[in-house]
């Protein structure tokens, strides 16, 4: 861990004066990245607001096609994965590598369950023809242009799903690095940044769930 | 922020805190589902967003450590929230008031779609020139006739 020739810890890059400066620079960069992520999803939230304000009746009727209980289970699954992610980082802070591995595996499993449930929901809608834009062939809904709701539904949950898949990739990488003992209480910045990203993915779902599934 | 030592000790939060925040998030999830089943008119959206905001605040404060971290990260996060609010609110000022300026009619975007083949389908606008420029709007949202419409979603 300590590079004797260079006179500093092995994880410390030469352009930083100390570990703390390096860690806070990473965190600053990560938060700026999360800011761009918020704005990326923000465009879709704006599209949602406009079309819901224009088509309140259609949104209300169309949202009944979503399964509230699958949505709630997925919310619970994603929140649980956020808890296990936070506990994985805490375990590394306490030098407990075995527990870190277990919590990371649990996070991956929760993420996989989320995607399986999402797959079941998508499959059902594909079968019924509740698809975006011109691919919409479902005939069970009254009102003008109900495919707009499903365009927005698939774009928002789809982009979120891609983020979940990406997050699983990064968590797997962190699992590999943890197993190779690359993290310690003195250095676990990549793990911490992965946690921040994962919590943001959870955060976005916290808003997607009531807006899409719970239109009163 | 932690003290300036050469190897900074990580700020370790107690296990109970993480589990407590997790339990609060699960409770709020069930609560928001229950409340959504009670018809409150326009307040359903307000309550749902309020509960989601509390959940978001819990995640950001404790899981993402913004409550304990340097204020800089909180400022960055707040800039994002503020920018988004301005972005969405100003857009709504425009899009909600267009009915006062233009004569808006809703037309099918894709008139050949199977859903329009239904005999009892109520077309809300002019479908004869449907391959022209189509504005996807309920006829009930322009200023002129919004008052008289039955409105199940509470708008």
Chain A, residues 151-210, CB within 8 A of chain B, namely 185-186, 188, 195-196, 199-200, 202-203, 206-207, 209-210
At residue B141, the pLDDT reads 41
Rank A105-114, B84-93, B106-115, B121-130 by mean pLDDT and report only the highest. Answer: A105-114
Q: Are A191 and A174 in contact (CB under 8 A)?
A: yes
Residue B150 pLDDT > 90: no
- Block residue for tokens 């996807």: B136
In a domain, A82, yes or no: yes
Chain A residue with the nearest C-alpha to that of B77? A35
**Better-scored residue on pLDDT, A7 or B36:** B36
At residue A10, the pLDDT reads 80
Within 8 A of B86 by CB-CB distance, chain A residues are none
- Sign of CA pseudo-dihedral A136, A59, A198, A34: positive
Long-range Cβ pairs for the range A104-109 (8 Å, 24+)? A104/A171, A104/A174, A104/A175, A104/A178, A105/A175, A106/A81, A107/A81, A107/A171, A107/A198, A108/A168, A108/A171, A108/A172, A108/A175
- Describe the crossing of helices A68-93 and A97-128 by its angle, rounded to 10 degrees: 160
Q: Give me the interface pTM, i.e. the ipTM.
A: 0.90
In a domain, A106, yes or no: yes
In a domain, A143, yes or no: yes
In a domain, A55, yes or no: yes
Within 8 A of A167 by CB-CB distance, chain B residues are none
Structure tokens at A175: 């699992």
In a domain, A34, yes or no: no
Within 8 A of B95 by CB-CB distance, chain A residues are 50, 53-54
Q: Is A54 an interface residue toward B (CB < 8 Å)?
A: yes
Q: Which of A56, A83, A146 sits opposite B153 (nearest CB)?
A: A56
Three-state DSSP state, B50: helix
Residue B101 pLDDT > 90: no
Q: How far apart are CA B23 and CA A79, in angstroms?
A: 9
Q: How far is A13 from chain B (nearest CA, A)?
A: 14
Q: What CATH code is carried by the domain that includes residue A151?
A: 1.20.120.80
**What are the DSSP calls for A23-46, one per residue?**
HHHHHHHHHHHHHHHHHHHHHHHH
Q: Which of B48, B59, B79 sits opposite A210 (nearest CB)?
A: B48
At residue B117, the pLDDT reads 61
Whole-number average pLDDT of chain B: 74
Q: How far apart are CA A208 and CA A96, in angstroms?
A: 35
Q: Which of B63, B73, B76 sits opposite A199 (nearest CB)?
A: B63
| Contact call for B80 and A39, based on CB within 8 A | yes
pTM comes to 0.83
Chain A residue with the nearest C-alpha to that of B30? A72
Cα atoms found within 13 Å of the Cα of residue B82, Cβ hemisphere only: 6
Band of pLDDT at residue B111, cut at 50, 70 and 90: low
The domain total for chain A is 1
Encode A112-123: b = buried (16+ Cβ within 10 Å), e = exposed. Answer: ebbbebbeebbe
Range of the domain at A59: 40-213
Cα atoms found within 13 Å of the Cα of residue B52, Cβ hemisphere only: 22
In a domain, A10, yes or no: no
Q: Are A189 and A22 in contact (CB under 8 A)?
A: yes
| Contact call for A57 and B70, based on CB within 8 A | no
Three-state DSSP state, A155: helix
Along chain A (216 residues), what's the average pLDDT of each consecutive run of 10 residues?
68 83 92 96 95 89 92 97 97 95 98 97 92 83 83 96 97 96 93 97 96 89
3-state helix, strand, coil in chain A (%, to 5): 75, 5, 20
At residue B30, the pLDDT reads 96
Residue B145 pLDDT > 50: no
At residue B144, the pLDDT reads 35
**Better-scored residue on pLDDT, A15 or B145:** A15
| Contact call for A55 and B154, based on CB within 8 A | no
In a domain, A107, yes or no: yes
Chain A residue with the nearest C-alpha to that of B94? A50
Chain A residue with the nearest C-alpha to that of B114? A137
Which of A215, A58, A52 has its CA nearest to residue A143? A58
In a domain, A51, yes or no: yes
């Amino acid at each position: 861990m300590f590079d004797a020739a260079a006179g500093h810890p092995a994880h410390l890059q030469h352009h930083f004066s100390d570990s703390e400066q390096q860690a806070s620079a990473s965190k600053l960069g990560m938060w700026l990245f999360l800011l761009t992520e918020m704005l990326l999803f923000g465009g879709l939230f704006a599209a949602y607001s406009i079309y819901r304000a224009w088509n309140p009746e259609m949104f209300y009727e169309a949202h009944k096609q979503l399964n509230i209980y699958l949505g709630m289970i997925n919310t619970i699954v994603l929140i649980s994965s956020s808890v296990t992610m936070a506990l994985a980082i805490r375990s590394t802070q306490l030098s407990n590598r075995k527990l870190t591995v277990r919590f990371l595996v649990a996070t991956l499993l929760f993420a996989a369950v989320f995607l399986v449930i999402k797959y079941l929901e998508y499959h059902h809608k594909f079968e019924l023809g509740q698809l975006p834009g011109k691919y919409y062939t479902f005939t069970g809904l009254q009102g003008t242009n109900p495919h707009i709701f499903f365009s927005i539904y698939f774009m928002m949950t789809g982009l979120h799903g891609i983020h979940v898949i990406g997050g699983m990739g990064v968590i797997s990488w962190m699992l590999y690095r943890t197993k190779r003992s690359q993290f310690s209480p003195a250095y676990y910045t990549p793990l911490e940044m992965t946690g921040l990203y994962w919590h943001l993915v959870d955060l976005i779902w916290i808003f997607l769930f009531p807006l899409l599934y719970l239109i009163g | 922020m932690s003290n300036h030592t050469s190897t900074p000790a990580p700020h370790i939060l107690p296990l109970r805190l993480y589990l407590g925040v997790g339990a609060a998030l699960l409770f709020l999830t069930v609560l928001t589902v229950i409340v959504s089943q009670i018809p409150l008119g326009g307040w359903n959206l307000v309550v749902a967003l309020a509960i989601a905001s509390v959940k978001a605040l819990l995640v950001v404060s404790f899981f993402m450590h913004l409550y304990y971290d340097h204020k800089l990260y909180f400022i960055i996060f707040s800039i994002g929230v503020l920018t988004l609010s301005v972005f969405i609110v100003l857009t709504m000022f425009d899009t909600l008031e267009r009915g006062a300026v233009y004569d808006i009619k809703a037309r099918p975007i894709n008139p050949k779609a199977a859903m329009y083949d239904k005999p009892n389908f109520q077309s809300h606008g002019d479908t004869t020139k449907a391959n022209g420029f189509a504005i996807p709007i309920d006829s009930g949202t322009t200023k002129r006739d919004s008052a008289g419409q039955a409105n199940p979603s509470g708008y």
